[in-house]
Structure 1
Amino acid sequence: MAEAGRQQRPAGRWLAPLLAVSVFFAGWEAAVRFWDIPPYLLPGPLLVLQTLYDNFGSLAGSWWVTVRITLTALALATFGGVALAGAFALSRWLEWSLTPFAVVLQVTPIIAVAPLIMILTDSASATVLICAWIVAFFPVLANTLAGLRSADAGLVELFRLYRASRWQTLRFLLLPTALPYFLSGLKVAGGLSLIGAVVAEFTAGAAGRNTGLASRILEAAFRTEIPKMFAALVLVSLTGVAIHLLFEALSRRLLRGWHGSEPR
Protein backbone atom coordinates (compact mmCIF):
# COMPACT_ATOMS: atom_id res chain seq x y z
CA MET A 1 0.00 0.00 0.00
CA ALA A 2 2.79 2.40 0.90
CA GLU A 3 4.60 1.64 -2.37
CA ALA A 4 1.40 2.26 -4.35
CA GLY A 5 0.89 5.58 -2.56
CA ARG A 6 4.44 6.66 -3.37
CA GLN A 7 3.93 5.75 -7.05
CA GLN A 8 0.65 7.67 -7.29
CA ARG A 9 1.94 10.89 -5.69
CA PRO A 10 4.37 11.87 -8.52
CA ALA A 11 1.67 11.32 -11.15
CA GLY A 12 -0.88 13.30 -9.17
CA ARG A 13 1.64 16.04 -8.52
CA TRP A 14 1.85 16.74 -12.26
CA LEU A 15 -1.64 15.71 -13.32
CA ALA A 16 -3.52 17.99 -10.91
CA PRO A 17 -1.88 21.29 -11.98
CA LEU A 18 -2.03 20.32 -15.67
CA LEU A 19 -5.73 19.59 -15.35
CA ALA A 20 -6.38 22.85 -13.50
CA VAL A 21 -4.46 24.90 -16.09
CA SER A 22 -6.25 23.15 -18.97
CA VAL A 23 -9.65 23.87 -17.44
CA PHE A 24 -8.69 27.52 -16.91
CA PHE A 25 -7.60 28.07 -20.52
CA ALA A 26 -10.57 26.14 -21.89
CA GLY A 27 -12.89 28.34 -19.84
CA TRP A 28 -11.07 31.45 -21.02
CA GLU A 29 -11.40 30.45 -24.67
CA ALA A 30 -15.05 29.50 -24.21
CA ALA A 31 -15.87 32.81 -22.50
CA VAL A 32 -14.20 34.84 -25.27
CA ARG A 33 -16.13 32.96 -27.95
CA PHE A 34 -19.46 32.90 -26.09
CA TRP A 35 -19.54 36.64 -25.35
CA ASP A 36 -17.80 37.49 -28.63
CA ILE A 37 -15.16 39.61 -26.88
CA PRO A 38 -13.06 41.52 -29.43
CA PRO A 39 -9.33 40.70 -29.51
CA TYR A 40 -8.35 44.29 -28.71
CA LEU A 41 -10.04 43.84 -25.33
CA LEU A 42 -9.26 40.23 -24.45
CA PRO A 43 -7.80 37.78 -26.97
CA GLY A 44 -8.44 34.10 -26.49
CA PRO A 45 -5.57 31.76 -25.59
CA LEU A 46 -5.57 30.19 -29.07
CA LEU A 47 -5.11 33.61 -30.70
CA VAL A 48 -2.36 34.44 -28.19
CA LEU A 49 -0.52 31.22 -29.03
CA GLN A 50 -0.91 31.88 -32.75
CA THR A 51 0.43 35.42 -32.28
CA LEU A 52 3.35 34.10 -30.26
CA TYR A 53 4.16 31.63 -33.03
CA ASP A 54 3.94 34.32 -35.73
CA ASN A 55 6.05 36.85 -33.80
CA PHE A 56 8.46 34.58 -32.00
CA GLY A 57 11.34 35.70 -34.20
CA SER A 58 10.91 39.33 -33.16
CA LEU A 59 10.26 38.45 -29.52
CA ALA A 60 13.07 35.94 -29.09
CA GLY A 61 15.81 38.59 -28.99
CA SER A 62 13.99 40.60 -26.33
CA TRP A 63 13.26 37.42 -24.39
CA TRP A 64 16.96 36.55 -24.32
CA VAL A 65 17.82 40.07 -23.09
CA THR A 66 15.36 39.64 -20.21
CA VAL A 67 16.65 36.15 -19.40
CA ARG A 68 20.28 37.29 -19.47
CA ILE A 69 19.62 40.21 -17.12
CA THR A 70 17.54 38.03 -14.82
CA LEU A 71 20.17 35.30 -14.52
CA THR A 72 23.01 37.80 -14.12
CA ALA A 73 21.17 39.66 -11.37
CA LEU A 74 20.29 36.37 -9.67
CA ALA A 75 23.91 35.18 -9.80
CA LEU A 76 25.17 38.45 -8.31
CA ALA A 77 22.45 38.39 -5.63
CA THR A 78 23.26 34.78 -4.76
CA PHE A 79 27.00 35.39 -4.49
CA GLY A 80 26.61 38.62 -2.54
CA GLY A 81 23.82 37.35 -0.28
CA VAL A 82 25.64 34.13 0.68
CA ALA A 83 28.97 35.91 1.23
CA LEU A 84 27.39 38.61 3.39
CA ALA A 85 25.32 36.08 5.35
CA GLY A 86 28.49 34.11 6.07
CA ALA A 87 30.23 37.28 7.23
CA PHE A 88 27.26 38.12 9.45
CA ALA A 89 27.37 34.63 10.97
CA LEU A 90 31.04 35.09 11.85
CA SER A 91 30.72 38.63 13.22
CA ARG A 92 27.76 40.03 15.14
CA TRP A 93 29.28 43.52 14.96
CA LEU A 94 29.36 43.36 11.19
CA GLU A 95 25.75 42.18 11.12
CA TRP A 96 24.58 44.99 13.40
CA SER A 97 26.47 47.54 11.30
CA LEU A 98 25.31 46.50 7.81
CA THR A 99 21.82 45.14 8.42
CA PRO A 100 20.19 48.61 8.22
CA PHE A 101 21.56 49.06 4.70
CA ALA A 102 20.22 45.66 3.61
CA VAL A 103 16.81 46.48 5.08
CA VAL A 104 16.72 49.83 3.28
CA LEU A 105 17.40 48.06 -0.02
CA GLN A 106 14.54 45.68 0.70
CA VAL A 107 11.86 48.16 1.77
CA THR A 108 12.52 50.91 -0.78
CA PRO A 109 10.14 50.55 -3.78
CA ILE A 110 12.10 49.67 -6.89
CA ILE A 111 9.91 51.99 -8.96
CA ALA A 112 11.15 54.90 -6.85
CA VAL A 113 14.79 53.85 -7.09
CA ALA A 114 14.98 53.14 -10.82
CA PRO A 115 14.91 56.80 -12.02
CA LEU A 116 17.72 57.69 -9.61
CA ILE A 117 19.83 54.75 -10.75
CA MET A 118 19.13 55.76 -14.35
CA ILE A 119 20.59 59.21 -13.65
CA LEU A 120 23.67 57.80 -11.90
CA THR A 121 24.47 55.11 -14.48
CA ASP A 122 23.22 56.80 -17.66
CA SER A 123 22.49 53.34 -19.05
CA ALA A 124 19.13 51.60 -19.28
CA SER A 125 20.69 48.12 -19.25
CA ALA A 126 22.74 48.88 -16.14
CA THR A 127 19.67 50.33 -14.45
CA VAL A 128 17.62 47.22 -15.13
CA LEU A 129 20.42 44.93 -13.91
CA ILE A 130 20.95 46.88 -10.68
CA CYS A 131 17.23 47.00 -9.94
CA ALA A 132 16.84 43.27 -10.53
CA TRP A 133 19.81 42.63 -8.25
CA ILE A 134 18.37 44.81 -5.47
CA VAL A 135 15.06 42.94 -5.56
CA ALA A 136 16.69 39.49 -5.50
CA PHE A 137 19.45 40.20 -2.97
CA PHE A 138 17.55 40.38 0.33
CA PRO A 139 15.70 37.00 0.15
CA VAL A 140 19.01 35.18 -0.36
CA LEU A 141 20.67 37.10 2.47
CA ALA A 142 17.78 36.76 4.93
CA ASN A 143 17.11 33.07 4.30
CA THR A 144 20.76 32.07 4.32
CA LEU A 145 21.40 33.98 7.53
CA ALA A 146 18.34 32.38 9.14
CA GLY A 147 19.73 28.99 8.18
CA LEU A 148 23.16 29.78 9.58
CA ARG A 149 21.52 30.86 12.86
CA SER A 150 19.42 27.69 13.10
CA ALA A 151 22.20 25.19 13.79
CA ASP A 152 21.58 22.87 16.73
CA ALA A 153 22.92 24.43 19.92
CA GLY A 154 24.31 21.10 21.10
CA LEU A 155 26.32 20.67 17.93
CA VAL A 156 27.61 24.23 18.19
CA GLU A 157 28.82 23.49 21.73
CA LEU A 158 30.41 20.25 20.51
CA PHE A 159 32.37 22.16 17.89
CA ARG A 160 33.51 24.60 20.56
CA LEU A 161 34.50 21.70 22.83
CA TYR A 162 36.74 20.33 20.09
CA ARG A 163 38.16 23.83 19.55
CA ALA A 164 37.00 24.11 15.97
CA SER A 165 37.82 27.41 14.33
CA ARG A 166 35.12 29.78 13.09
CA TRP A 167 35.80 28.75 9.51
CA GLN A 168 35.56 25.04 10.38
CA THR A 169 32.28 25.62 12.20
CA LEU A 170 30.96 27.58 9.26
CA ARG A 171 32.03 24.99 6.68
CA PHE A 172 31.12 21.74 8.44
CA LEU A 173 28.12 22.75 10.55
CA LEU A 174 26.52 26.06 9.65
CA LEU A 175 26.57 25.78 5.83
CA PRO A 176 24.97 22.28 5.68
CA THR A 177 22.33 23.45 8.16
CA ALA A 178 21.64 26.57 6.08
CA LEU A 179 21.32 24.73 2.74
CA PRO A 180 17.52 24.18 2.89
CA TYR A 181 17.00 27.82 3.88
CA PHE A 182 19.30 29.00 1.10
CA LEU A 183 17.43 26.97 -1.50
CA SER A 184 14.13 28.38 -0.25
CA GLY A 185 15.50 31.91 -0.60
CA LEU A 186 16.83 31.05 -4.06
CA LYS A 187 13.35 30.05 -5.23
CA VAL A 188 11.97 33.40 -4.08
CA ALA A 189 14.90 35.37 -5.49
CA GLY A 190 14.59 33.67 -8.89
CA GLY A 191 11.08 34.96 -9.41
CA LEU A 192 11.85 38.36 -7.92
CA SER A 193 14.86 38.89 -10.19
CA LEU A 194 12.60 38.39 -13.22
CA ILE A 195 9.98 40.74 -11.77
CA GLY A 196 12.65 43.30 -10.98
CA ALA A 197 14.05 43.15 -14.52
CA VAL A 198 10.63 43.67 -16.10
CA VAL A 199 9.45 46.39 -13.69
CA ALA A 200 12.75 48.27 -13.92
CA GLU A 201 12.57 48.27 -17.70
CA PHE A 202 9.03 49.64 -17.54
CA THR A 203 10.21 52.39 -15.20
CA ALA A 204 13.40 53.19 -17.10
CA GLY A 205 11.44 53.53 -20.33
CA ALA A 206 14.03 51.55 -22.27
CA ALA A 207 13.46 51.38 -26.00
CA GLY A 208 15.24 50.02 -29.05
CA ARG A 209 16.21 46.63 -30.45
CA ASN A 210 18.47 45.45 -27.61
CA THR A 211 15.80 45.71 -24.92
CA GLY A 212 13.77 43.17 -23.02
CA LEU A 213 10.22 41.92 -23.12
CA ALA A 214 8.93 44.87 -21.08
CA SER A 215 9.69 47.15 -24.02
CA ARG A 216 7.84 44.83 -26.39
CA ILE A 217 4.83 44.86 -24.05
CA LEU A 218 4.85 48.67 -23.96
CA GLU A 219 5.18 48.90 -27.74
CA ALA A 220 2.30 46.47 -28.27
CA ALA A 221 0.13 48.40 -25.81
CA PHE A 222 0.85 51.74 -27.52
CA ARG A 223 -0.04 50.22 -30.91
CA THR A 224 -3.13 48.45 -29.49
CA GLU A 225 -1.66 45.09 -30.53
CA ILE A 226 -3.21 43.34 -27.56
CA PRO A 227 -2.63 39.74 -28.77
CA LYS A 228 1.08 40.53 -29.19
CA MET A 229 1.16 42.08 -25.74
CA PHE A 230 -0.34 38.90 -24.30
CA ALA A 231 2.19 36.84 -26.27
CA ALA A 232 5.05 38.73 -24.63
CA LEU A 233 3.39 38.26 -21.25
CA VAL A 234 3.21 34.52 -21.92
CA LEU A 235 6.96 34.46 -22.54
CA VAL A 236 7.57 36.31 -19.25
CA SER A 237 5.31 33.89 -17.37
CA LEU A 238 6.87 30.80 -18.95
CA THR A 239 10.32 32.10 -18.03
CA GLY A 240 9.26 32.54 -14.42
CA VAL A 241 7.74 29.05 -14.34
CA ALA A 242 10.93 27.58 -15.82
CA ILE A 243 13.07 29.29 -13.17
CA HIS A 244 10.78 28.02 -10.42
CA LEU A 245 10.82 24.45 -11.74
CA LEU A 246 14.61 24.56 -12.09
CA PHE A 247 15.10 25.46 -8.45
CA GLU A 248 12.43 22.98 -7.34
CA ALA A 249 14.37 20.25 -9.12
CA LEU A 250 17.64 21.47 -7.60
CA SER A 251 16.09 21.46 -4.13
CA ARG A 252 14.81 17.91 -4.55
CA ARG A 253 18.20 16.81 -5.87
CA LEU A 254 20.16 18.26 -2.96
CA LEU A 255 17.77 17.63 -0.07
CA ARG A 256 15.98 14.39 -0.88
CA GLY A 257 16.91 11.58 1.45
CA TRP A 258 18.27 13.59 4.35
CA HIS A 259 15.99 16.62 4.96
CA GLY A 260 12.33 16.58 5.94
CA SER A 261 11.29 19.22 3.42
CA GLU A 262 11.96 16.77 0.57
CA PRO A 263 10.67 13.27 1.35
CA ARG A 264 12.30 10.17 -0.09
Structure 2
Amino acid sequence: MSKVSSSAAPAAPSPATPSRLATLLRDGWPVVLVAVIAIAGWYLLTATVYAGKGYLVPSPQEVAAAVAENAGVLLVATLTTLKEATFGYLLAIVGGISLAAVLSQSKLLERSIYPYAVLLQTVPVVAVAPLIVLWFGYNDLSVVIISLIMSLFPIVNNTLLGLRSTSRNLIELFALHNKSRVTAFWKLQLPGALPHIIGGLRISAGLSVIGAIVGEFIIGSGNAQGGLGVQIVFAQGRMYTALLFAEVIAATLLGFFFFMIVSAIGNRLLKNWHESAVGH
Protein backbone atom coordinates (compact mmCIF):
# COMPACT_ATOMS: atom_id res chain seq x y z
CA MET A 1 0.00 0.00 0.00
CA SER A 2 1.21 3.46 -0.85
CA LYS A 3 1.84 5.75 2.01
CA VAL A 4 -0.42 8.79 1.95
CA SER A 5 1.31 12.01 2.86
CA SER A 6 -0.30 13.80 5.80
CA SER A 7 1.14 17.19 4.90
CA ALA A 8 -1.44 19.73 3.72
CA ALA A 9 -1.20 21.27 0.28
CA PRO A 10 0.31 24.76 0.32
CA ALA A 11 -2.30 27.49 0.48
CA ALA A 12 -2.70 29.75 -2.52
CA PRO A 13 -1.06 33.10 -1.98
CA SER A 14 -3.58 35.76 -1.03
CA PRO A 15 -3.70 38.82 -3.23
CA ALA A 16 -1.70 41.71 -1.86
CA THR A 17 -3.81 44.30 -0.11
CA PRO A 18 -3.05 47.77 -1.46
CA SER A 19 -1.65 50.17 1.09
CA ARG A 20 -3.64 53.19 2.23
CA LEU A 21 -1.20 55.45 0.40
CA ALA A 22 -1.63 53.51 -2.85
CA THR A 23 -5.41 53.64 -2.46
CA LEU A 24 -5.29 57.38 -1.79
CA LEU A 25 -3.13 57.97 -4.85
CA ARG A 26 -5.38 55.81 -7.02
CA ASP A 27 -8.58 57.53 -5.91
CA GLY A 28 -7.20 61.04 -5.60
CA TRP A 29 -5.42 61.60 -8.90
CA PRO A 30 -8.57 62.78 -10.78
CA VAL A 31 -9.09 65.52 -8.19
CA VAL A 32 -5.45 66.57 -8.40
CA LEU A 33 -5.60 66.55 -12.20
CA VAL A 34 -8.65 68.84 -12.27
CA ALA A 35 -6.97 71.19 -9.78
CA VAL A 36 -3.82 71.35 -11.92
CA ILE A 37 -5.86 72.07 -15.06
CA ALA A 38 -7.83 74.78 -13.24
CA ILE A 39 -4.70 76.49 -11.93
CA ALA A 40 -3.04 76.26 -15.36
CA GLY A 41 -6.13 77.80 -16.99
CA TRP A 42 -6.16 80.54 -14.34
CA TYR A 43 -2.48 81.28 -15.02
CA LEU A 44 -3.00 81.43 -18.80
CA LEU A 45 -5.98 83.73 -18.33
CA THR A 46 -4.00 86.18 -16.21
CA ALA A 47 -1.06 85.99 -18.60
CA THR A 48 -3.18 86.81 -21.67
CA VAL A 49 -6.63 88.33 -21.26
CA TYR A 50 -5.93 89.96 -17.87
CA ALA A 51 -2.22 90.64 -18.34
CA GLY A 52 -1.31 93.68 -16.25
CA LYS A 53 -4.80 93.75 -14.71
CA GLY A 54 -4.12 92.11 -11.38
CA TYR A 55 -6.63 94.40 -9.74
CA LEU A 56 -9.33 92.47 -11.65
CA VAL A 57 -7.99 88.90 -11.75
CA PRO A 58 -4.67 88.37 -9.93
CA SER A 59 -2.34 85.60 -10.99
CA PRO A 60 -1.72 82.53 -8.81
CA GLN A 61 1.70 83.96 -7.93
CA GLU A 62 0.13 87.19 -6.69
CA VAL A 63 -2.41 85.30 -4.60
CA ALA A 64 0.37 83.13 -3.13
CA ALA A 65 2.37 86.27 -2.30
CA ALA A 66 -0.71 87.79 -0.61
CA VAL A 67 -1.13 84.63 1.45
CA ALA A 68 2.51 84.73 2.54
CA GLU A 69 2.31 88.44 3.38
CA ASN A 70 -0.94 88.13 5.36
CA ALA A 71 -0.58 84.60 6.76
CA GLY A 72 -1.20 85.67 10.34
CA VAL A 73 -4.37 87.60 9.52
CA LEU A 74 -5.67 84.77 7.34
CA LEU A 75 -5.04 82.20 10.05
CA VAL A 76 -6.84 84.24 12.72
CA ALA A 77 -9.75 84.98 10.36
CA THR A 78 -10.11 81.33 9.32
CA LEU A 79 -10.06 80.12 12.92
CA THR A 80 -12.63 82.74 13.90
CA THR A 81 -15.00 81.72 11.12
CA LEU A 82 -14.36 78.06 11.89
CA LYS A 83 -15.35 78.60 15.53
CA GLU A 84 -18.53 80.50 14.64
CA ALA A 85 -19.59 78.04 11.94
CA THR A 86 -18.88 75.06 14.20
CA PHE A 87 -21.07 76.38 17.02
CA GLY A 88 -23.86 77.26 14.59
CA TYR A 89 -23.61 73.86 12.92
CA LEU A 90 -23.65 71.91 16.18
CA LEU A 91 -26.70 73.86 17.38
CA ALA A 92 -28.40 73.14 14.04
CA ILE A 93 -27.66 69.42 14.40
CA VAL A 94 -29.05 69.21 17.93
CA GLY A 95 -32.03 71.45 17.23
CA GLY A 96 -32.83 70.05 13.79
CA ILE A 97 -32.74 66.38 14.73
CA SER A 98 -34.65 67.03 17.97
CA LEU A 99 -37.35 69.03 16.19
CA ALA A 100 -37.72 66.42 13.46
CA ALA A 101 -37.95 63.66 16.07
CA VAL A 102 -40.80 65.48 17.83
CA LEU A 103 -42.62 66.24 14.58
CA SER A 104 -42.35 62.63 13.42
CA GLN A 105 -44.38 61.46 16.42
CA SER A 106 -47.43 63.60 15.69
CA LYS A 107 -49.11 64.50 12.42
CA LEU A 108 -50.79 67.44 14.15
CA LEU A 109 -47.48 68.88 15.29
CA GLU A 110 -45.98 68.34 11.86
CA ARG A 111 -48.83 70.17 10.13
CA SER A 112 -48.64 72.97 12.71
CA ILE A 113 -44.88 73.59 12.93
CA TYR A 114 -43.26 72.31 9.73
CA PRO A 115 -44.60 75.16 7.53
CA TYR A 116 -42.77 77.63 9.79
CA ALA A 117 -39.56 75.69 9.33
CA VAL A 118 -40.07 76.11 5.58
CA LEU A 119 -40.65 79.85 6.07
CA LEU A 120 -37.42 80.06 8.05
CA GLN A 121 -35.60 78.68 5.01
CA THR A 122 -37.28 81.00 2.50
CA VAL A 123 -36.75 84.27 4.41
CA PRO A 124 -33.64 86.03 2.99
CA VAL A 125 -30.97 85.85 5.67
CA VAL A 126 -29.46 89.15 4.52
CA ALA A 127 -32.78 90.81 5.33
CA VAL A 128 -33.08 89.14 8.74
CA ALA A 129 -29.44 89.59 9.78
CA PRO A 130 -29.79 93.28 10.77
CA LEU A 131 -32.65 92.32 13.12
CA ILE A 132 -30.55 89.58 14.70
CA VAL A 133 -27.73 92.06 15.22
CA LEU A 134 -30.21 94.51 16.76
CA TRP A 135 -31.52 91.86 19.17
CA PHE A 136 -28.25 90.12 20.11
CA GLY A 137 -25.62 92.78 19.47
CA TYR A 138 -22.50 93.12 17.33
CA ASN A 139 -20.78 89.97 18.58
CA ASP A 140 -20.03 86.35 17.74
CA LEU A 141 -23.41 85.23 19.10
CA SER A 142 -25.22 86.96 16.25
CA VAL A 143 -22.95 85.27 13.72
CA VAL A 144 -23.59 81.87 15.33
CA ILE A 145 -27.37 82.44 15.19
CA ILE A 146 -27.22 83.38 11.51
CA SER A 147 -25.14 80.25 10.81
CA LEU A 148 -27.72 78.22 12.76
CA ILE A 149 -30.61 79.63 10.70
CA MET A 150 -28.83 78.91 7.42
CA SER A 151 -28.03 75.29 8.26
CA LEU A 152 -31.13 74.24 10.22
CA PHE A 153 -33.76 73.45 7.57
CA PRO A 154 -31.92 70.75 5.55
CA ILE A 155 -31.34 68.80 8.76
CA VAL A 156 -34.99 69.10 9.84
CA ASN A 157 -36.29 68.22 6.38
CA ASN A 158 -34.04 65.22 5.72
CA THR A 159 -34.35 63.82 9.23
CA LEU A 160 -38.14 64.08 9.15
CA LEU A 161 -38.20 62.44 5.71
CA GLY A 162 -36.08 59.57 6.98
CA LEU A 163 -38.17 59.06 10.11
CA ARG A 164 -41.38 59.14 8.05
CA SER A 165 -39.94 56.59 5.59
CA THR A 166 -39.85 53.75 8.11
CA SER A 167 -41.71 50.66 6.90
CA ARG A 168 -45.24 50.53 8.27
CA ASN A 169 -44.97 46.74 8.53
CA LEU A 170 -41.95 47.02 10.82
CA ILE A 171 -43.69 49.59 12.99
CA GLU A 172 -46.68 47.28 13.33
CA LEU A 173 -44.34 44.39 14.13
CA PHE A 174 -42.86 46.37 17.03
CA ALA A 175 -46.36 47.22 18.24
CA LEU A 176 -47.32 43.54 18.00
CA HIS A 177 -44.47 42.73 20.39
CA ASN A 178 -45.67 45.44 22.80
CA LYS A 179 -42.67 47.69 22.20
CA SER A 180 -43.11 51.30 23.24
CA ARG A 181 -42.93 54.22 20.81
CA VAL A 182 -39.65 55.25 22.42
CA THR A 183 -38.16 51.82 21.77
CA ALA A 184 -39.46 51.81 18.20
CA PHE A 185 -37.92 55.23 17.66
CA TRP A 186 -34.46 54.33 18.98
CA LYS A 187 -34.29 50.79 17.61
CA LEU A 188 -36.13 51.19 14.31
CA GLN A 189 -36.91 54.70 13.07
CA LEU A 190 -33.68 56.50 13.96
CA PRO A 191 -31.27 53.85 12.55
CA GLY A 192 -33.37 53.59 9.39
CA ALA A 193 -33.34 57.37 8.97
CA LEU A 194 -29.56 57.61 9.32
CA PRO A 195 -28.81 57.84 5.56
CA HIS A 196 -31.28 60.72 5.23
CA ILE A 197 -29.82 62.42 8.30
CA ILE A 198 -26.29 62.18 6.90
CA GLY A 199 -27.55 63.67 3.62
CA GLY A 200 -29.02 66.64 5.49
CA LEU A 201 -25.82 67.11 7.49
CA ARG A 202 -23.78 67.18 4.30
CA ILE A 203 -25.95 69.93 2.82
CA SER A 204 -25.87 71.95 6.03
CA ALA A 205 -22.09 71.63 6.43
CA GLY A 206 -21.38 74.19 3.71
CA LEU A 207 -24.40 76.32 4.61
CA SER A 208 -23.09 76.81 8.15
CA VAL A 209 -19.90 78.38 6.78
CA ILE A 210 -21.92 80.55 4.39
CA GLY A 211 -24.10 81.68 7.28
CA ALA A 212 -21.09 82.58 9.39
CA ILE A 213 -19.56 84.64 6.58
CA VAL A 214 -22.87 86.41 5.85
CA GLY A 215 -23.12 87.25 9.54
CA GLU A 216 -19.62 88.66 9.48
CA PHE A 217 -20.51 90.78 6.44
CA ILE A 218 -23.28 92.42 8.46
CA ILE A 219 -21.50 92.66 11.81
CA GLY A 220 -17.79 93.08 11.29
CA SER A 221 -15.50 95.95 10.54
CA GLY A 222 -12.03 95.31 9.15
CA ASN A 223 -9.53 94.34 11.82
CA ALA A 224 -7.12 91.53 12.53
CA GLN A 225 -9.59 89.82 14.87
CA GLY A 226 -12.46 89.51 12.37
CA GLY A 227 -13.44 86.37 10.53
CA LEU A 228 -13.14 85.71 6.82
CA GLY A 229 -16.31 87.68 6.04
CA VAL A 230 -14.88 90.72 7.82
CA GLN A 231 -11.55 90.39 6.03
CA ILE A 232 -13.23 89.99 2.64
CA VAL A 233 -15.04 93.29 3.13
CA PHE A 234 -11.82 94.89 4.34
CA ALA A 235 -9.80 93.63 1.35
CA GLN A 236 -12.52 94.78 -1.05
CA GLY A 237 -12.44 98.27 0.43
CA ARG A 238 -8.66 98.41 -0.07
CA MET A 239 -8.97 97.00 -3.63
CA TYR A 240 -6.53 94.29 -2.55
CA THR A 241 -7.83 91.73 -5.04
CA ALA A 242 -5.09 89.15 -4.51
CA LEU A 243 -5.88 88.97 -0.80
CA LEU A 244 -9.60 88.91 -1.62
CA PHE A 245 -9.02 85.84 -3.81
CA ALA A 246 -7.02 84.19 -1.03
CA GLU A 247 -9.79 84.79 1.50
CA VAL A 248 -12.48 83.47 -0.83
CA ILE A 249 -10.40 80.35 -1.44
CA ALA A 250 -9.91 79.93 2.33
CA ALA A 251 -13.68 80.21 2.89
CA THR A 252 -14.32 77.65 0.13
CA LEU A 253 -11.80 75.22 1.58
CA LEU A 254 -13.34 75.68 5.03
CA GLY A 255 -16.77 74.66 3.72
CA PHE A 256 -15.17 71.73 1.87
CA PHE A 257 -13.41 70.71 5.11
CA PHE A 258 -16.75 70.62 6.93
CA PHE A 259 -18.32 68.57 4.14
CA MET A 260 -15.48 66.03 4.07
CA ILE A 261 -15.59 65.50 7.85
CA VAL A 262 -19.35 64.86 7.77
CA SER A 263 -18.95 62.56 4.74
CA ALA A 264 -16.20 60.57 6.46
CA ILE A 265 -18.29 60.13 9.60
CA GLY A 266 -21.34 59.18 7.53
CA ASN A 267 -19.41 56.61 5.49
CA ARG A 268 -18.07 55.03 8.68
CA LEU A 269 -21.57 54.77 10.15
CA LEU A 270 -23.12 53.38 6.96
CA LYS A 271 -20.33 51.40 5.31
CA ASN A 272 -21.30 48.01 6.75
CA TRP A 273 -24.96 48.01 5.77
CA HIS A 274 -26.08 50.79 3.43
CA GLU A 275 -25.49 50.82 -0.33
CA SER A 276 -24.55 54.52 -0.41
CA ALA A 277 -21.37 53.84 1.59
CA VAL A 278 -20.46 50.23 0.81
CA GLY A 279 -17.10 50.15 -0.89
CA HIS A 280 -16.21 53.80 -0.11
The DSSP-based 3-state class of the residue aligned with 1:118 is helix
Question: Is 1:26 aligned to residue 40 of structure 2?
Answer: yes
Q: Output the TM-score relative to the length of structure 2.
A: 0.87
Give the structure 2 partner of residue 233 of structure 1: 248
- The residue type paired with residue 238 of structure 1 is L
Question: By how many angstroms is 1:208 displaced?
Answer: 3.8
Q: Which of 34, 40, 59 is the matching residue for 2:55?
A: 40
Distance of 2:270 and 2:116 partners within structure 1: 32
Distance of 2:99 and 2:63 partners within structure 1: 44
Give the structure 1 partner of residue 194 of structure 2: 179
- Deviates further, 34-43 or 53-62: 34-43
* Contact 1:124/1:206 (<8 A) preserved: no
Q: Which of 28, 33, 44 is the matching residue for 1:14?
A: 28
**CA-based RMSD:** 2.0
Q: Output the TM-score relative to the length of structure 1.
A: 0.92
> Which structure has more helix as a fraction of its residues?
1
Cα gap change, 1:31 to 1:184, in 2 (>3 Å): same
Question: By how many angstroms is 1:200 displaced?
Answer: 2.1
- Deviates further, 73-82 or 209-218: 209-218
Question: Is 1:193 aligned to residue 239 of structure 2?
Answer: no
Distance of 1:206 and 1:174 partners within structure 2: 47
The DSSP-based 3-state class of the residue aligned with 1:257 is coil
Matches within 5 A, 1:145-224: 145-224=160-239
Question: By how many angstroms is 1:13 displaced?
Answer: 3.6
Question: Is 1:242 aligned to residue 257 of structure 2?
Answer: yes
Question: Is 1:137 aligned to residue 147 of structure 2?
Answer: no
User: Unaligned regions of 5+ residues in structure 2, if any?
Assistant: 1-14
User: Unaligned regions of 5+ residues in structure 1, if any?
Assistant: none
Matches within 5 A, 1:59-98: 59-98=74-113
* Contact 2:223/2:231 (<8 A) preserved: no
Question: By how many angstroms is 1:112 displaced?
Answer: 0.6
Distance of 2:34 and 2:222 partners within structure 1: 37
Residue-by-residue CA offset, 1:64-100 (whole Å, 9 max, x unaligned): 1100000000000000001111111122222222112
The DSSP-based 3-state class of the residue aligned with 1:41 is coil
Question: By how many angstroms is 1:10 displaced?
Answer: 6.3
- The residue type paired with residue 185 of structure 2 is L
Residue-by-residue CA offset, 1:86-124 (whole Å, 9 max, x unaligned): 111122222222112211111101001001111112224
Question: By how many angstroms is 1:11 displaced?
Answer: 5.0
Question: By how many angstroms is 1:43 displaced?
Answer: 0.6
- Deviates further, 91-100 or 146-155: 91-100
- The residue type paired with residue 20 of structure 1 is V
* Contact 2:73/2:224 (<8 A) preserved: no
